[in-house]
Structure 1
């Protein structure tokens, strides 16, 4: 779902960088109350969908007239079909397709419910990996693919046994494909996190053994804290009051409503600002994800991890500090980047799995970005668009596809000429219903905010 992009208050325009998918904002360095380190706030505000009524850019699109002409043509096309139906049979449509829809509808609903509930077999498998009764590589992976194949084969076999028409058979088969893709992502992600968790445990054991050479674990932590205090004192003297407002208090930048934010250190933020500026000038304002990459010389300090760093990363012994950094890197992979900071295996719960099955995405993550409210007007807009577009799709199928179903004595060329245009229109309308109306509307109801592009460029920054 696309979220609205609004200007940032009290922020210079030079720090707003337009991209093909939204706007990036990079704040000036500031000093939070709970830390002495200078930090910067990076914000991504996604662009709106081209089909949203509130999208200002859609009104200035040079092809807007063609879009409007398409819908006007479809409207005239539909009215013409209704008039012809009334003249020939006394009613706009004969509802033959509706009869096919309603055939064995109760059994279809029960079958689909069983299909959805069958995905719950992921939970025992994930729980077994959580307790480390089995390992994902390769026992868990084999069980995973056996379950997925069984569910898909069962759904297809069931449609053949029920002798359903293509509408019911196609729906259940396609829905089963969606469900096994969700299952695959859920199990494989948790399996990879299990491997990362085991590696982090091994790294911690190596780190503990390394501290034995400097007086033990507690002594090493005390030495690291003392060294950190010396570094902070030196940094505080050099930076002075940078990052504070006129009253000497920390100033946190404002962010756009519905945006996704991330914190980074001042050096990385400065490098990102320079890169965005150079790319924007070189490409006349167009910024692509592939252009936002850094070399080692551009970023001399690693970005702060969302996972709280272990105290031993500040140990004066370089070997112990390096081992602690490796351990922190592994632990950070087990923690989400959102405000809830969900950590594996705490995510393996019925509530988390149910939430994943409800949100409109096929990729499992520890935590998803959320909107702060539901927009009733937006839900109403998508609801009306869903039913209105479905009426058009039904009319096209009923009037221009079913009557021209190929027969044995009809040539392939004639069938192609009769069905090419109606099928093309039906494909466009069906695509619009599923991915623009239903997915966006359901995402709004579930407070789901898609940030795929944010994650793409955020990965570029971290690389």
Structure 2
């Protein structure tokens, strides 16, 4: 992870390298943990050949990326005893893909792993839905969209964000009054408005679900979903947000070459805001919540960037 800094890469290259490294780490985590779960499931299935000594606890269903609630992925209550026939069927079904064309351990091949690495997902599955043939128009369109977005992000950042922040940093070194400082920071707030076109959420939980769906699936499955059997829902949510905040702080460190924790604190402050928005006095007022979200998004990001510039 320190290679980009040692070679003095540009911040865009550093972020690109860091994000792809994190993506590969998350992919390998998902691959290892899911296959580990399947290995344990297979062991329990084989142990049922001797029912007198085998565990009779219900089969654990690994969290999926398609379920809408963590309770849907946990199967029967922990510790509940089931009959051997039902348990054998549940364990066997866990070893088969939903489409029925792949099973464990036949999936443990180099080709399967390489195929998974190239799939646009962070969560490993035994099998993914496939089209009958390659739609080359879609491939070309998505490829152009990817490189087009990278180009626009780079141009926007280099031409409109960095110059403003660098200029603000230089001017802040020579300010003589509080009013001048406020005016300079206010300019930074205004220059952050173009990010608003990327998000249309009414609260931070909705934003965390929709801004990056593959990452959301990974955290819900391997962090939140894996924590739920051992922790309460609030604690699992806090841990999920904390790990996500640490990853975002790492990206900010690549951009600013500073580790200050402002991004981590800002992201963790989203949870109290969500609690307020979920109260009976505020919940359901979509327009009001949307306005509050925009205010916190614009002022929060601008303030965070300004803090990285100042300190």
User: What TM bracket, shorter-length normalisation?
Assistant: 0.3 to 0.5
TM-score normalised according to structure 2 size: 0.46
Greater helix percent: which structure? 2
Greater strand percent: which structure? 1
TM-score normalised according to structure 1 size: 0.32
Larger RCO (CA within 8 A; separation ≥ 6): 1
Look at both structures and tell me which one has the larger radius of gyration over its CA atoms.
1
